[in-house]
Structures are given as structure tokens and as C-alpha cells.
């Protein structure tokens, strides 16, 4: 296989940016920027998320059996970069971002465009990332969206010409 072609073609797949948050019963919290996300079913409503297998977000979400995907809006590049680093819980903030607990206990970030809260249904553990398949159990918007909803989303390409995750 041509490794350069493989890398380039896989980088041609467009991705939005999300902050995956989870909270375990013992209070441990994780938050990480993720981009390998897709809707996987209408009924029941399912999403699939690729999560780095050796990450804190993977461990906490898997143990909790639930997580939230907080959708980043256009202009929230700095928030995406904030959660490229390990999360720091202090009171009702994660890495300085206010949150509230969702119905599953997963943190819902106050400043994002919207969220889906999910219960983990299945974990596919192959490779350096696992795929979490999860049922959407709650959703919310910070404000009504005008126009195409996907136009309101921050995309990986919005982080700059030299920022990639894939390939």
C-alpha cells in the first residue's frame, strides 16, 4: 500500500470537533476533544465515537457506562485546544469550563453549542482506538440554530492548515 496515499485519503474525511466528557461513580472526571464521531442509527438513536484506547477519557467513559458529546461551535478553537490536554476538575469547572451534571452524570459544558448525552451500548476494541457505540438518551442546544446545523459546528480544518488527526 502507498502509505502517503493512505494518509492523504484518510485525511480527506471531514470531521467536526466535540468534547467527550464522562464522570465515574467515584467522582473521577475526564474530558477530551474528539473528532471521529458519527450518527449510527435513527431507531434507537445511536452514535459511534472513536476514542484513544489508552486515554483517561476512554477509561472513565467505559467505567461510567455513559458520556456526553459537547458540540463545539464555530469560533471555539481555543476550547478544542484546551481539551487536547488532560482535564483538571475544580469545583464545577473542568479545565476552567463551567459544567452541569447531565442525566447520566456526564458533565455538560455550559459554553458549547449543544450536546448529546449517551449510554454506552457496546465497545469495539480493535487497534489503538476503541469504537464506543452509544444510545442518545438526552440532547440540548445552547440556542436555536439558524440555517444548516452542520454549518454551526467547528470542523477540524478550522484549527489550521497544520492540524490533522487521521491518516
CATH number of domain containing 126: 2.30.110.10
Phi and psi at 149, nearest 5°, equal: -60, -35
pTM equals: 0.94
Domain that holds residue 126: 19-153
Per-residue pLDDT of 43-102, as tens digits, reads: 999 999 999 999 999 999 999 999 999 999 999 999 999 999 999 999 999 999 999 999
* Whole-number percent of the chain with pLDDT over 90: 87
- The whole-number pLDDT of residue 154 equals 95
56 lies in a domain?
yes
Domains: count for the chain: 1
1 lies in a domain?
no
Is 49:69 a contact under the CB 8 Å cutoff?
yes
109 lies in a domain?
yes
Categorize the per-residue pLDDT at 161 as very low, low, confident or very high, splitting at 50, 70 and 90: confident
Categorize the per-residue pLDDT at 18 as very low, low, confident or very high, splitting at 50, 70 and 90: very high
80 lies in a domain?
yes
Strand partners, 131: 50, 124
Helix, strand or coil for residue 138? strand
Query: Measured between alpha carbons, how far is 140 from 114 in angstroms, rounded to an integer?
Result: 5
Helix, strand or coil for residue 13? coil
165 lies in a domain?
no
43 lies in a domain?
yes
Residue 59: which H helix or E strand, with range? helix 56-64
**Residue 39 CA neighbour count, 13 Å, CB half:** 8
Strand partners, 119: 66, 135
Quick one: cell of 31? 474530558
Is 108:101 a contact under the CB 8 Å cutoff?
yes
Amino acid at each position: 500500500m502507498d502509505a502517503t496515499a493512505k494518509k492523504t485519503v484518510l485525511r480527506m474525511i471531514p470531521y467536526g470537533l466535540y468534547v467527550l466528557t464522562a464522570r465515574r461513580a467515584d467522582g473521577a472526571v475526564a474530558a477530551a476533544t474528539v473528532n471521529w464521531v458519527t450518527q449510527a442509527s435513527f431507531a434507537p438513536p445511536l452514535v459511534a465515537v472513536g476514542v484513544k484506547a489508552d486515554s483517561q477519557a476512554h477509561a472513565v467513559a467505559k467505567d461510567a457506562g455513559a458520556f456526553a458529546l459537547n458540540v463545539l461551535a464555530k469560533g471555539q478553537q481555543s476550547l478544542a485546544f484546551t481539551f487536547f490536554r488532560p482535564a483538571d476538575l475544580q469545583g464545577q469547572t473542568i479545565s476552567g469550563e463551567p459544567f452541569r451534571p447531565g442525566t447520566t452524570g456526564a458533565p455538560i459544558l455550559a459554553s458549547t453549542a449543544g450536546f448529546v448525552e449517551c449510554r454506552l451500548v457496546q465497545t469495539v476494541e480493535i487497534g489503538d482506538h476503541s469504537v464506543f457505540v452509544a444510545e442518545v438518551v438526552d440532547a440540548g442546544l445552547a440556542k436555536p440554530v439558524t440555517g444548516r446545523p452542520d454549518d454551526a459546528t467547528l470542523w477540524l480544518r478550522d484549527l489550521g492548515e497544520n492540524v490533522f488527526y487521521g491518516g
